[in-house]
Structure 1
């Protein structure tokens, strides 16, 4: 049913694997390498059509120019204003809903759980007009708060699915023993369940942070000005109608990718533990 480890495969299969893996890795990283090289090209190279050749010079000044000639600092700050409240809000809501759906047995438990999950299967493109009209009617259009609230509502379904399944796998004997001792339900959640959920919370925090930070679609739909646009939408505004500053866009893209990369490496141990906890018995 499951594929065998590559160490147990035949010698030709192992040789093919060792050959194909670096090739696949290079093809996957090639666009990123292209962006990195373009971020170091001088503007004269692009003006002469040197898009894919070696740069005539290493223009480290592009990384300084992106800060002096564009509001990328404001864009990055806006991304943090949207991403951090979204991560906190989704984790708070999903841990509580996951606890309720994973621990308590009541009528319509599965129905409510399926309603949370069903939102993940709705194509988000068809929500563009209704969500835009809703935020406009509530006075939240073109605000970082409105964008964060939408992401919290949209991501809570996936996070609830993740948390509910994690909590349902916890030993129920711990909870029953606490109830026998007369511990209140909120204390069971706070002192018993929540500490056991730390690996799952860390893994989910990294995933949600990456999802929201890299969001482009809703950033362009629900924000329009430099004072509210996240960095993904703000970078696209660097290209005017007649001039394309791809060297600055590439430099800004490298800078914009640093926060989620740094967060992943800082939380790598907890992230892997959260994804693999419960994978084996």
Structure 2
């Protein structure tokens, strides 16, 4: 009489680990799929107005008035873009915007880097109080100081080569100074926190080699802050470029107004062609998109800095 003995092979440790890894990988993949789905939905929600504006700018107004903006197109052309650029005088307005935005961004980053270096890398007495002072400036509503600044700029004289009105009012300098004042606190806050992440040993080695204060700032610290400066430069250019309030208050000459004011020239007194207005809006948005694409790599590096540090 023989016994039928059945044996079950024991699971090897390698197979057990592989099975556990597969079970763990499934929730991770589901989580990543959910995150990607959420980010895609949010991206489409933010892009929807821009895509609708581009779509409407390519269609005649009569067609959208008859069939609606969400109907299939019958005619597509770039005629509205040529008309928007010529009718609104965007060439002069683009020039005015660059005259305001470029100096405002460069001077803001230059001054903010000085203050951030002194607060974060040097042992300055009251440095934390100074940083809190600059940060608190961002909490001040700009509408509160509109009237005092208006009266002040009317009384500040400027030479003829800086202002046609011989005062700060109705000059590019008024808008530049106000933008610098309101954006400086945010830039100091970001750059100071960025510089604190830099290894202190780099400056200590430079001091041992005989580097002065200016060399520590200009040749050592500032090159390491390139990602933060690029990210801030992109944000600051976008904010100054899109500003409408300060130019509307402190500039009375229509030939000096920035690009955001040119869209008013496309609005009629009794009728507004919203397809033409959409084409003008797309043209106005193109420079900020171009700046972001040029600085995209540095911008993302500045945003993700410190994400992998413990």
TM-score w.r.t. length of structure 2: 0.80
Aligned residues: 275
Aligned partners of 2:273, 2:173: CA distance in 1, in Å?
Answer: 30
- Classify the secondary structure of the residue corresponding to 2:223: helix
Aligned partners of 1:144, 1:7: CA distance in 2, in Å?
Answer: 59
Q: Which residue of 1 aligns with 2:142?
A: 124
Q: Which residue of 2 aligns with 1:202?
A: 230
CA-to-partner distance for each residue in 1:71-124, whole Å, 9 max, x for gaps?
111111111111111111111101111111111223221111111000111122
- Structure 1 residue ranges (4+ consecutive) displaced by more than 6 angstroms after TM superposition: none
Aligned partners of 1:156, 1:141: CA distance in 2, in Å?
Answer: 21
- Classify the secondary structure of the residue corresponding to 1:88: helix
Aligned partners of 1:24, 1:273: CA distance in 2, in Å?
Answer: 22
Q: Which residue of 2 aligns with 1:57?
A: 75
Question: Is residue 87–residue 205 contact of structure 1 (8 Å, CA) maintained in 2?
Answer: yes
CA-to-partner distance for each residue in 1:210-260, whole Å, 9 max, x for gaps?
111122332333334431111112213321321213222211111111111
Q: CA deviation at 1:164?
A: 1.0
In the alignment, does 2:162 pair up with 1:162? no
Q: Which residue of 1 aligns with 2:89?
A: 71
Q: Which residue of 2 aligns with 1:88?
A: 106
Aligned partners of 1:223, 1:87: CA distance in 2, in Å?
Answer: 19
Aligned partners of 2:94, 2:186: CA distance in 1, in Å?
Answer: 25
Instruction: Give the alignment's Cα RMSD to 1 decimal.
Output: 2.5
Q: CA deviation at 1:154?
A: 1.1
Q: 1:103-122 residue pairs with structure 2 within 5 A? A: 103-122=121-140
Q: Which runs of 5+ in 2 are unaligned?
A: 1-24, 157-166
2:45 aligns with one of 24, 27, 41: 27
Q: Which runs of 5+ in 1 are unaligned?
A: 1-5
Q: 1:30-45 residue pairs with structure 2 within 5 A? A: 30-45=48-63
**Mean Cα deviation higher: 68-77 or 121-130:** 121-130
TM-score w.r.t. length of structure 1: 0.87
Question: Is residue 41–residue 59 contact of structure 1 (8 Å, CA) maintained in 2?
Answer: yes
- Classify the secondary structure of the residue corresponding to 2:132: helix
Aligned partners of 2:43, 2:304: CA distance in 1, in Å?
Answer: 24
1:268 aligns with one of 275, 296, 305: 296
Q: Which residue of 2 aligns with 1:3?
A: none
- Classify the secondary structure of the residue corresponding to 2:59: coil
Aligned partners of 2:32, 2:307: CA distance in 1, in Å?
Answer: 26
Aligned partners of 2:147, 2:294: CA distance in 1, in Å?
Answer: 38
Look at both structures and tell me which one has the larger radius of gyration over its CA atoms: 2
Question: Is residue 87–residue 266 contact of structure 2 (8 Å, CA) maintained in 1?
Answer: no
**Mean Cα deviation higher: 34-43 or 69-78:** 34-43
**Mean Cα deviation higher: 39-48 or 167-176:** 39-48
Q: Which residue of 1 aligns with 2:206?
A: 178
Aligned partners of 2:244, 2:153: CA distance in 1, in Å?
Answer: 17
CA-to-partner distance for each residue in 1:105-153, whole Å, 9 max, x for gaps?
2322111111100011112232332233333333222322221121111
Aligned partners of 1:262, 1:135: CA distance in 2, in Å?
Answer: 34
2:263 aligns with one of 226, 235, 238: 235
Aligned partners of 2:278, 2:254: CA distance in 1, in Å?
Answer: 19
Aligned partners of 2:215, 2:38: CA distance in 1, in Å?
Answer: 53
